[in-house]
Amino acid sequence: MTLEQEKNPWLAAEVRFDKAAATLGLDDGMRKVLKKPAREMTVNIPVMLDDGRLEVFTGYRVQHSVARGPGKGGIRYAPDVNLDEVRALASWMTWKCAVVNIPYGGAKGGVICSPTLMSDGELERLTRRYTSGIMDMIGPDQDIPAPDINTNERVMAWIMDTYSMHARQATTAVVTGKPMELGGSLGRREATGRGCMIVTMEALKKFRLTPETTKVVIQGFGNVGGMAAQLMAERGFRIIAIIEYDGAIYNAEGLDIQALMDHRKETGSINDFAGGEAIDKAEAMFLQCDVLIPAATENVVTSQNAERLNCKILCEGANGPTTAVADGILAEKGIFVIPDILANAGGVTVSYFEWVQDRQGYFWNEKLVNERLEDIMVQSFASVAKWGETRKVDNRTAAYMLALDRVASAIRLRGIYA
Ligand code: GLU
């Protein structure tokens, strides 16, 4: 396999799928059904730019499975979005929702664009036109988008408004990750990072570590990595390094995360932070630590560098941070992997709570949201561990097996409509 193939997320998704399906003894027909996305849409969307030029952007929405419930999954805006990536991300949503046992299938969307170079007006026009393009696919009972890389509450509000204008009624449950004023949920913003912290705490028990004795390195300081850092620092973890796209910062005693957040807010970057020393961002991932949390993007742990990881626990905050080829190397090194479809499932879990609250028109307090999230994450961690122990497989394969089994079982019960 070439490095390019190794880094194709759809191929990585296939390798993991095949391994779990074989270990599970899934029949050929079911494998075919579960492998291919159920529905894919490509839209080419004209958007008027601020300078008067008309530009056409390409966007996708893929529903991998709607067997257990409506499609669910984020929308990302990035220059390198492609259909194979969106397919893989959609399938990971199917498995993720099944691992935490929430009543959704899996979907994902993406638009090829450079959001940092676009004005607010351009982003709004792009979002609204993309929403209208995929309108027939989404809906509270069909497919519910959410934020992902480079999309946020504001983008969700535009989607909610565009959909609602067409539906001729305010339809808050069509997206999650919305502002509080529009039916958002308390705790949603922190949910993915909180989920990472909860499963890491569960993993620590296996190593007889306590938060105070645990050194953590986090890649990414955004919605997932930043929140995980903040919540873990509050619990007493020693966050010794934060790695961002434009630099990395290190402090052996543990970084003051709140101060680093304030510094970033003021200067726009983690660089030049007085409470730590700047280190090489390409090397920081290989620092000796107990927990490494890649919480940025895909393909950061590959066949080229997995050997150099120096952690006991790898908690995958991002989707697909480890290539399938690297899995074997991590296993040989004895690294305890908390796979993405479990580790970062806190986000979609609270998205589910948001959707439930919107549909009921009755909102929960933050304590209730966090307690229910914790219950689900702890239970899911235990279920994956149990599958791993009884079937003698690694955590990732165990999580996939649990997920495949749940989705296949739903399909069998529904039967094939002919
Ligand atoms: N984009 C997030 C993920 O990959 C959240 C999805 C959601 O809340 O639907 O899990």
Contact 76, 151 (CB under 8 A): yes
Contact 200, 232 (CB under 8 A): yes
Place of tokens 């008027």: 48
CATH number at residue 137: 3.40.50.10860
Distance from residue 132's CA to the centre of ligand 1 (Å): 21
| Helix and strand totals (H; E) in the chain | 14, 12
Residue finishing a domain among 297, 318, 343: 343
Is the same domain home to 105 and 235? no
Pocket mutation for ligand 1, best pick of 178, 192, 223, 224 (most atoms within 8 Å of C-beta): 192
Residues 6 or more apart whose CB falls under 8 angstroms from that of 138 comprise 61, 131, 144, 145, 163, 174
Residue list, ligand 1 pocket, CB within 6 Å:
72-74, 146, 148, 176, 319, 344, 347-348, 351
Backbone angles phi, psi at 358, to 5 degrees: -60, -45
pLDDT at 1 over 90: no
Mean of pLDDT values over 313-338: 97
Is the same domain home to 166 and 209? no
Mean of pLDDT values over 143-156: 97
Structure tokens at 61: 């929405």
Average pLDDT taken over every residue of the chain: 97
pLDDT recorded at residue 73: 98
Tally of domains within the chain: 2
Distance from residue 275's CA to the centre of ligand 1 (Å): 33
Percentage of the chain with pLDDT > 90? 99
| Cα–Cα distance measured from residue 159 to residue 251, given in angstroms and rounded to the nearest whole number | 41
Is the same domain home to 150 and 211? no
Residue 130 lies in a domain: yes
Beta bridge partners of 139: 143
| pTM of the entire predicted model | 0.97
Q: Where are the alpha helices (DSSP H) in 46-119?
A: 83-99
- The one-letter code for the residue type at 403 is A
Whole domain around residue 243: which residue ranges? 191-343
CATH number at residue 315: 3.40.50.720
Is the same domain home to 149 and 264? no
Which candidate in 19, 96, 108, 312 is catalytic? 108
Q: How far is CA 4 from CA 10, 72, 89, 181, 282, in A?
A: 12, 28, 18, 44, 20
Tell me: the pLDDT tens digits for 15-72? 999 999 999 999 999 999 999 999 999 999 999 999 999 999 999 999 999 999 999 9
Residue finishing a domain among 299, 327, 343: 343
| Cα–Cα distance measured from residue 368 to residue 401, given in angstroms and rounded to the nearest whole number | 30
Backbone angles phi, psi at 275, to 5 degrees: -85, 15
Contact 158, 128 (CB under 8 A): yes
Is the same domain home to 300 and 216? yes
Is the same domain home to 209 and 302? yes
| Cα–Cα distance measured from residue 90 to residue 10, given in angstroms and rounded to the nearest whole number | 10
